[in-house]
Amino acid sequence: MKRTLFSGILLILILYVSAWSNQINLTRSGDWITFKLDNQKDLGAIALPLKFADFGDDVFCDSFSFVDTKLSSLTLKEVIVDNNQKTVMVFAIVLDEEYIPSGEGALVRLKFSGEDSLEFESTTIHHQEGISIVDSDAEELEFDFDPVYVSVEEEKNPDLPTRFILFQNHPNPFNPYTDIQYALPENYHVNLSVYNILGQKVKTLVDTKKQAGFHSVLWDGKDHRGEDVATGIYFYKIKTEEFSQTKKMLLLR
């Protein structure tokens, strides 16, 4: 039986501001953890390094999503996951007229799975004196480390999506694995299948009832016979009793 333990977290924020007082809170919806940031000023950069489990524990970070978050419109943003070291680094840097807006909002969503406890804590980056990042004009930006104590709560009323969403697969283009995420406002029977450019079904990835919330499925670039498919454009389609949508993806071998 899966056990998930949420405890206090010491995270490090690297912010392009001289002084600030911000709050970070984490909420859970199923296997998804949403990082929510309430910042008082517009930000120019942010980094969140954390360790989520002890070595050898059966817990993994499966995927992530920036959709409908403060970072969704930024060009340079990424999540680096090391499931062997049990660490995750979330970072973003603004370019040109971009900025991370002030106010409260979701920062990123991370999906975890496994049988052991999930406990967040700071990583060794906390013990470094600082970090330098070069902006688009090759000017060095200096950042200070400020520890932020983070509270974690399992919401009695989870932060569930209010509408159907079929996200763009990530990465795209891909070889051979890509992650497809979708959101359900209520419980539905979901069919999610992959098709080729001729409209022929390549593989069914999901065909079962799913609970409301954010979900993710991995496609390994194989058809229903377990054989590798060729390089090319493919389509993935989600269908429920009340929703249907198709998106395009590119496999490059």
pLDDT by 10s per residue, the chain, length 253: 334 443 333 444 444 433 344 566 777 776 778 888 777 777 777 777 777 777 778 888 888 888 778 888 888 888 888 888 888 888 888 877 788 888 888 888 888 887 766 666 544 433 333 334 333 444 444 433 333 333 333 444 446 788 899 988 888 899 988 889 898 988 999 999 999 999 999 999 999 999 888 888 889 999 999 999 999 999 999 999 999 999 999 999 8
Q: What is the pLDDT of residue 26?
A: 74
Q: Residue 68 class from Cβ within 10 Å (0-12 exposed, 13-18 middle, 19+ buried)? A: middle
* pLDDT given at position 23: 67
Q: What is the pLDDT of residue 148?
A: 37
Tell which phi-psi region holds residue 107, choosing left (phi > 0), alpha (psi between -120 and 50) or beta.
alpha
Q: What is the pTM assigned to this prediction?
A: 0.52
Domains of the chain: 9-153 (2.60.40), 165-251 (2.60.40.4070)
Whole-number pLDDT of residue 18: 35
Amino acid at site 21: S
pLDDT for 42 equals: 76
105, β-bridge pairs:
37
The pLDDT, as a whole number, for residue 239 is: 96
Q: Cβ distance 59 to 116 under 8 Å?
A: yes
pLDDT value of residue 64: 86
Cβ 189 vs Cβ 240: under 8 Å? yes
Dist CA 52 CA 82 (whole Å): 10
pLDDT, residue 208, reads: 94
Residues 174 and 120: their CA atoms lie apart, in Å, by 30
Q: Which two tokens stand for residue 152?
A: 């974690």
Helix, strand, coil distribution of the chain in percent, nearest 5: 0, 55, 45
Place of tokens 């496609």: 219
